[in-house]
């Protein structure tokens, strides 16, 4: 069930196996899109994202892979949010793909409209991506998204999940984890930070729509991410990918730790990497070496209070969520580790 | 330009926005010194030759070794590989099998008859005393620098302790002979069976411009043991030398070896091979303080050598050796107990180390000796101008690579001396330690096990006991190298930059930062697996 294709497994001992972005010892076809000299750099330099922005990184990873998969015939619709604001302060843009911004909550609908227009024009070759932040996806854009799924519009929707409304100053969203500090969930009282709500998961909700393809990915595992985007672009109908993108500003982390934090989120079990087709889970990316959630939390100021003795119950709750993910999605190999 | 409805400005690119101005620190590529290279007494660039081996570029890899060490096939067999002891991969799973790969490359060179060339002639002449690893290494490097070199050797064959000390089962002679022959083919003159006693006279007679002494430590250290001469008490140097010369060694029946070092192990193991009935090594120190390497002790025991630790030989009489039991004292030095026991023996061999025959330098004015060894300056020169020295005869760890390292260093300094200059060693890079690496990216890969001859065959002859690793295993082992501190073009930095601020220059050319846009987040530094990027503060 591993994500990496069989052919790649053979070279796993090649110094760094398939874990690095590239590897001079791999044949060209097994290298990541990001390793190539001619990657499209669809999100180019000069954008105004913060230092070490996971969203900027995830967007280039994903859109470059989609560009490669569609032979550069791609249109992107973008919800309001950091990804829109830092890339495109009128009239400048950092995008080198045809790109449109309309509103905060309607990216899925705009994408669906473009797909319909392309169909009407007989342009089967041109493919459509709609993208937005977690706020624009799980909260305000949720209705449009569900509608797009329901109609099975030929759009890949990518949600860049940084677990809050970052662009307007770090307000909580329904993707904000329990205990996290945001501007609207301050760490005060006996249950500081965000409330532990029911644990809404848009990937699982997307699966419930029985759409052809749903996946989660993370900026720390590029091969897995590119594999999923490429796979999604090979499928018609509605597809959904959620990418875990740490935000140094909103999370209070070091810009240089962005990839490390994403790695720890996955390795501790809080952000499971899964793949599903037509409502059924078809693959999980195994945890390579299981880590305690505390290792993940301690790099982020938004969780600083969780590690204080007074709030041990919050740490337990977060560990319980991770453990539940691990057993629910069978994230740890019985043989121990992926290799 | 006419813009569409409700649009007043043309589309501009974000490339106009030079985000490099945000930066307070800048990433910079650098080559750090891998701990293996740092630990190699011959100064080999191990990381670099492993890198070339990974790609199957064996000849280039071999030439990289040859820049520092003319004996890859020898070193791949007898080196105690301090490189592996300090290899960073040892902290991840197991050290890279550097020594096995070196042997593979050394053997490839012999199979393919790769050669080395002499440098353009300088017309200067250097005399080298001693054709051990130290002398031969110096001769090789000096020849590459274009000097005429003559090596004078007292023994009938070249190699020093490589031939007359280290037994064949660890150092097959055809490999040694072939690597020495390659040095001769470069035009180094070898005068065997020529013992030099008057250095200056020989120098003047041969019109040499400089001298390198590498006479090793040939005199056996002995302790006085009470006895009547029966059974005979021999010394390790003579026994091993006679083994090599295929002369009677006197090893027979029950052999007792006295000493806890590698030489004692080699004598014991040779005795097993020569048909001794029983071999016992009596060690003064406690087991954990024995100077012999662990692998040698293990192998000796596998071959049937018995070890008795914390015993001093007090008397040898008739067919009996009297041992006094010792107890661990302060530090490493054991204390006597007054309790004795007996051991029967047909022959006793002392293997307590070697001394330098300093008589050779006594006649040289200015040369200083201390603690039985010759003193040299940082430039390897003795107190006598133009006379340099290295190897076992100067303060040294007394290993083959150390001697080879001395030979190289001396050659550089002699070369500078002959050009009336001073050798300026290039500045050393900072050493990469384990926490400068991001080891997440290295996949798990267990170390290759070197094949070993079975014990029966080891006991019955001098065939080499450690086998070759094949090409596939050598490549695999090289690929386990983490390339500490030196970019191996994994593309991680190029990939993880959120600002697309790194230009990939193409295979072999590495990368370049676009400082116009780099915001200084440091992600590339964190995600570089091998620690080849560093953040440095901007002047602001
Ligand atoms: C039994 C044994 C096993 C060892 N095993 C290992 C091992 O596995 N690995 C390792 O790294 N090291 C080992 N060593 C140590 C290693 O062999 C020495 O450190 C190394 O050989 C020293 O090199 P050298 O060139 O200084 O001296 P040598 O190798 O001793 O060479 C000196 C040469 O000078 C010649 N010579 C001396 N006087 C004169 C003269 N007046 N005129 C002309 N020629 C002269 C000698 O004949 C000799 O050939 C071992 C040593 C012994 C004794
Ligand atoms: C209808 C509407 N309400 C509010 C806003 C203000 N607004 C702009 S971006 C944003 C938050 C975006 O959060 P998210 O979608 O998570 O993206 P992020 O910035 O975190 O990447 C908000 C609230 C808006 N533009 N439109
Ligand atoms: S991993 Fe490679 S570069 Fe690093 S210490 Fe070991 S052999 Fe040297
Ligand atoms: S991240 Fe990879 S490509 Fe970049 S400097 Fe380090 S080793 Fe080289
Ligand atoms: Mg967000």
Tokens representing A279? 């409502």
Chain B residue with the nearest C-alpha to that of A14: B479
Whether ligand 1 lies within 6 angstroms of the CB of B215 is answered as yes
- Its domain, for residue B510, covers 5-31+487-537
Overall average pLDDT of the B47-54 stretch: 95
Strand partners, A127: A74
Nearest CA to ligand 3 atom 2: B481
Q: Which residue of B has its CA nearest to A57?
A: B498
Interface test with A, best of B498, B525, B527 (most A CBs within 10 A): B498
What tokens does B507 get?
Answer: 């295979």
- Given a contact cutoff of 8 angstroms between Cβ atoms, the answer to whether B535 and B525 are in contact is yes
Please tell me whether residues B263 and B308 are part of one structural domain. yes
Residue after which a domain boundary falls, among B394, B418, B442: B418
Distance from CA of A269 to the nearest CA of B (A): 17
Inter-chain touch B501–A45, beta carbons under 8 Å: yes
B15 vs A contacts (CB less than 8 Å): 44-46
Could you tell me which chain B residue has the CA closest to the CA of A246? B498
Closest-CA residue in chain B for A34? B495
Which three-class secondary structure state does DSSP give residue B410?
helix
Give the pLDDT of residue A1: 29
Residues with CB under 6 A from ligand 2: A 55, 80-83, 104-105, 132-136, 162, 165-168, 173
Q: Are both B243 and B330 inside the same structural domain?
A: yes
Task: Give me the residues paired with residue B255 across strands.
Answer: B279, B347
* Rounded Cα–Cα distance for residues B9 and B205 (Å): 91
pLDDT tens digits, B471-480: 988 988 998 9
Q: Taking 90 as the threshold, does the pLDDT of residue B4 lie above it?
A: no
* DSSP per-residue string spanning B482-494: --TTS-----HHH
Is the CB–ligand 3 distance for residue B88 below 6 Å? yes
Question: Does residue B345 sit in the same domain as residue B360?
Answer: no
User: Is the preceding omega at residue A122 within 30 degrees of 0, hence cis?
Assistant: no
Cβ contact B146:B125 at 8 Å: no
Give residue A81 CA to ligand 5 midpoint distance, Å.
Answer: 7
**Is residue B295 located within the same domain as residue B360?**
no
Q: Which of B78, B196, B216 to mutate to test the pocket of ligand 1 (most atoms within 8 A of CB)?
A: B216
Please report whether residue A55 resides in a domain.
Answer: yes
Query: Would you say residue B225 has pLDDT above 80?
Result: yes
Q: What is the CATH number of the domain that holds B363?
A: 3.50.50.60
Residues B181 and B241 in one domain: no
Q: Is the same domain home to B349 and B367?
A: no
Domain match, B300 and B399 both: no
Out of B54, B495, B520, the one facing A32 most closely (by C-beta) is B495
Are B495 and A48 in contact (CB < 8 Å)?
no
C-alpha A136 – ligand 5 centre gap (Å): 8
pLDDT of the residue at A17: 57
3-state secondary structure B293-358: CHHHHHHHHHCCCEEEECEEEEEEECCEEEEEEEECCCCCCCEEEEEEEEEECCEEEECCCEECCC
Cβ contact A293:A314 at 8 Å: no
Question: What pLDDT score does A333 carry?
Answer: 85
What's residue B6's pLDDT?
A: 83
Q: Using CB atoms, pick whichever of A21, A56, A90 lies closest to residue B498.
A: A56
Nearest listed ligand to the Cα of residue A138: 2
A 168-207 near B (Cβ less than 8 A): none
Nearest Cα to Cα of residue B70 among B115, B126, B34: B115
Of B445, B497, B523, the CB nearest to A13: B445
Residue A299 placed within a domain? yes
CA distance from start to end of chain A? 13
My answer on whether B257 and B205 are in the same domain is no
The answer to whether position B59 is within a domain reads no
Ligand 3 atom closest to the Cα of residue B87 is: 5
Distance (Å, whole) CA B14 – CA B68:
50
The H or E element containing residue B406 is helix B400-418
Per residue of chain A (339 residues), what is the pLDDT tens digit? 233 334 333 333 445 556 899 888 777 777 899 999 999 999 999 999 999 999 999 999 999 999 999 999 999 999 999 999 999 998 899 999 999 999 999 999 999 999 999 999 999 999 999 999 999 999 999 999 999 999 999 999 999 999 999 999 999 999 999 999 999 999 999 999 999 999 899 999 999 999 999 999 999 999 999 999 999 999 999 999 999 999 999 999 999 999 999 999 999 999 999 999 999 999 999 999 999 999 999 999 999 999 999 999 999 999 999 999 999 999 998 654 444
Q: Does residue B425 sit within a domain?
A: no
| A310 interface with B at CB cutoff 8 Å | no
Q: Is B292 in the pocket of ligand 1 (CB under 6 A)?
A: no
Q: Do B517 and A339 touch (CB under 8 A)?
A: no
Q: Determine the average pLDDT of the residues in B285-306.
A: 95
Whether residue A12 is contained in a domain is answered as no
Residues B344 and B365 in one domain: no
Q: How many domains does chain B have?
A: 3
Q: What is the mean pLDDT of residues B160-187?
A: 98
Question: Is B155 a pocket residue for ligand 3 (Cβ < 6 Å)?
Answer: no
Q: Which residues of B touch A57 (CB under 8 A)?
A: 496-498, 523
Residues 6+ apart with CB under 8 A from B432: B32, B33, B34, B35, B88, B484, B485, B530, B531
Pocket of ligand 4 (CB under 6 A): B 487-493, 511, 528-530, 532-533
3-class DSSP state of B194? coil
CB contact under 8 A, A92 and B12: yes
Residue B200 maps to a domain: yes
| Chain B residues near residue A258 by CB distance under 8 angstroms | 498, 521, 523
Residue among B456, B530, B540 at smallest CA distance from B30: B530
Taking the Cβ of residue A299 and every Cβ of chain B, the question of whether any pair is shorter than 8 Å is answered with no
Angle at A107 between CA A103 and CA A111, to 5 degrees: 130
By the CB criterion, residues less than 5 angstroms from ion ligand 5 are A 133-134, 162, 166
Q: Decide which of B330, B353, B376 is a domain's last residue.
A: B353
Claim to verify: residue B186 and residue B257 sit in the same structural domain: no
Number of structural domains chain A divides into? 1
CB B38 within 8 A of CB B430: no
pLDDT score, position A3: 36
CA B303, B307, B312, B314 dihedral sign is: negative
Atom of ligand 3 nearest to the CA of B481: 2
Does any domain span residue A9? no
Which range marks the domain in which residue A193 is found?
Answer: 40-328
Query: With contacts defined as CB-CB under 8 Å, which chain A residues touch B499?
Result: 45, 47, 49, 56
Cβ-defined contact of B523 to A259 (cutoff 8 Å): yes
Q: Is A31 on the interface with B (CB under 8 A)?
A: yes
B218 touches ligand 1 (CB under 6 Å): yes
Residue A21 distance to chain B (closest CA, Å): 5
Report the CATH number that the domain containing residue A318 is assigned in CATH.
3.40.50.970
Helices A222-233 and A54-69: angle between axes, nearest 10 degrees: 40
Decide which of B418, B435, B464 is a domain's last residue. Answer: B418
Question: What is the per-residue pLDDT for A13?
Answer: 40
Atom of ligand 2 nearest to the CA of A132: 15
Assess whether B283 and B372 both reside in one domain: no
- A317 domain residue, yes or no: yes
Interchain proximity A47–B495, CB inside 8 Å: no
Of the candidates A12, A57, A93, the beta carbon closest to that of B496 is on A57
Mean pLDDT of chain B, nearest integer: 95
Which segments within B347-443 are labelled E, that is strand? 347-350, 354-355, 369-370, 373-374, 387-389
Are B345 and B368 contained in the same domain? Answer: no
For the CA of A168, the nearest ligand: 2
With beta carbons under 8 A apart, name residues in chain B contacting A18.
Answer: 443
- Model confidence pLDDT, tens digit, residues B475-534: 889 989 999 999 999 999 999 999 999 999 998 899 999 999 999 999 999 999 999 999
pLDDT range class, residue B29, cuts 50, 70, 90: very high
């Amino acid at each position: 069930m591993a994500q990496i294709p069989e052919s790649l497994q053979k070279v796993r001992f090649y110094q760094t196996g398939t874990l690095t972005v590239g590897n001079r010892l791999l044949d060209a076809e097994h290298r990541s899109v990001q390793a190539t000299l001619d990657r499209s750099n669809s999100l180019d330099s000069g954008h105004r994202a913060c230092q070490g922005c996971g969203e900027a990184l995830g967007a280039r990873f994903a859109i470059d892979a989609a560009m490669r998969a569609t032979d550069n015939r791609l249109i992107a619709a973008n919800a309001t949010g950091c990804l829109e604001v830092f890339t495109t302060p009128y009239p400048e843009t950092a995008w080198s793909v045809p790109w449109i911004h309309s509103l905060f909550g309607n990216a899925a609908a705009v994408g669906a409209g473009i797909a319909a227009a392309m169909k009407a024009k007989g342009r089967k070759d041109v493919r459509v991506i709609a993208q937005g932040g977690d706020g624009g996806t799980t909260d305000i854009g949720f209705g449009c998204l569900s509608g797009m799924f329901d109609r099975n519009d030929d759009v890949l929707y990518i949600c860049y999940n940084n677990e809050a409304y970052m662009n307007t100053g770090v307000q909580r969203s329904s993707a904000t984890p329990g205990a996290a500090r945001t501007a609207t969930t301050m760490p005060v009282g006996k249950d500081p930070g965000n409330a532990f709500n029911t644990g809404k998961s848009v990937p699982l909700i997307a699966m419930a729509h029985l759409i052809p393809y749903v996946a989660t990915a993370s900026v720390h595992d590029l091969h897995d991410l590119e594999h999923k985007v490429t796979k999604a672009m090979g499928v018609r109908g509605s597809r959904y990918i959620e990418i875990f993108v740490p935000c140094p500003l909103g999370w209070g982390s070091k810009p240089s730790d962005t990839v490390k934090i994403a790695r720890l989120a996955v390795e501790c079990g809080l952000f499971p990497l899964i793949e599903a087709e037509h409502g059924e889970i078809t693959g999980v990316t195994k945890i390579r070496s299981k880590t305690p959630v505390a290792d993940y939390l301690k790099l982020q100021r938004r969780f600083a209070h969780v590690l204080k003795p007074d709030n041990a119950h919050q740490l337990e709750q977060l560990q319980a969520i991770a453990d539940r993910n691990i057993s629910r999605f069978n994230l740890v190999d019985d043989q121990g580790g992926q290799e | 330009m006419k813009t569409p409805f409700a649009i007043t400005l043309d589309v501009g690119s974000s490339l106009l926005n030079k985000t490099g101005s945000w930066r307070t620190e800048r990433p910079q590529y650098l080559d750090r010194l891998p701990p293996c290279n740092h630990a190699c007494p011959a100064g080999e660039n191990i990381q670099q030759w492993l890198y070339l081996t990974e790609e199957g570029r064996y000849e280039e890899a071999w030439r990289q070794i040859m820049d520092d060490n003319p004996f890859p096939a020898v070193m791949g067999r007898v080196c105690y590989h301090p490189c592996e002891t300090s290899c960073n991969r040892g902290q991840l799973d197991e050290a890279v099998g550097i020594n096995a790969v070196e042997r593979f490359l050394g053997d490839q060179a012999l199979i393919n008859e790769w050669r080395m060339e002499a440098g353009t002639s300088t017309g200067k002449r250097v005399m080298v005393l001693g054709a051990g690893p130290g002398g031969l290494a110096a001769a090789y490097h000096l020849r590459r620098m274009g000097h005429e070199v003559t090596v004078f050797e007292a023994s009938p064959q070249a190699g020093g302790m490589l031939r007359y000390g280290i037994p064949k089962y660890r150092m097959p002679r055809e490999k040694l002979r072939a690597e020495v022959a390659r040095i001769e083919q470069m035009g180094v003159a070898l005068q065997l069976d020529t013992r030099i006693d008057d250095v200056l006279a020989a120098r003047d007679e041969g019109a040499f411009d400089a001298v390198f002494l590498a006479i090793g430590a040939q005199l056996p250290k002995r302790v006085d043991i009470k006895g009547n001469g029966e059974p005979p008490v021999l010394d390790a140097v003579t026994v091993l030398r006679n083994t090599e010369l295929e002369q009677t060694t006197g090893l027979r029946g029950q052999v007792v070896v006295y000493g806890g070092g590698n030489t004692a192990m080699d004598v014991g193991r040779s005795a097993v091979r020569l048909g001794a009935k029983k071999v016992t090594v009596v060690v003064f120190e406690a087991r954990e303080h024995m100077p012999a390497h662990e692998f040698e002790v293990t192998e000796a025991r596998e071959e049937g050598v018995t070890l008795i630790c914390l015993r001093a030989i007090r008397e040898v009489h008739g067919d009996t050796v009297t041992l006094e039991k010792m107890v661990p004292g302060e530090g490493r030095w054991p204390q006597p107990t007054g309790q004795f026991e007996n051991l029967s023996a047909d022959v006793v061999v002392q293997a307590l180390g070697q001394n330098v025959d300093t008589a050779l330098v006594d006649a040289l004015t200015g040369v200083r000796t201390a603690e039985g060894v010759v003193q040299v300056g940082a430039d390897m020169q003795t107190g006598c101008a133009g006379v340099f020295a290295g190897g076992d005869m100067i303060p040294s760890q007394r290993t083959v690579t150390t001697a080879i390292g001395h030979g190289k260093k001396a050659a550089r300094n002699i070369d500078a001396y002959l050009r009336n200059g001073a050798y300026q060693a290039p500045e050393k890079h900072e050493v990469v330690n384990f926490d400068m690496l991001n080891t997440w990216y290295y996949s798990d890969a267990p170390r290759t096990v070197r094949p070993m001859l079975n014990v029966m065959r080891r006991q019955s002859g001098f065939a080499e006991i450690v086998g070759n690793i094949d090409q596939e295993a050598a490549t695999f082992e090289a690929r386990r190298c983490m390339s500490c501190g030196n970019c191996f073009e994994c593309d991680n930095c190029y990939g993880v930059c959120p600002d697309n601020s790194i230009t990939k220059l193409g295979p072999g050319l590495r990368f370049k930062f676009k400082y116009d846009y780099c915001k200084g987040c440091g992600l590339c530094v964190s995600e570089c697996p091998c620690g080849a990027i560093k953040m440095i503060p901007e002047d602001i």
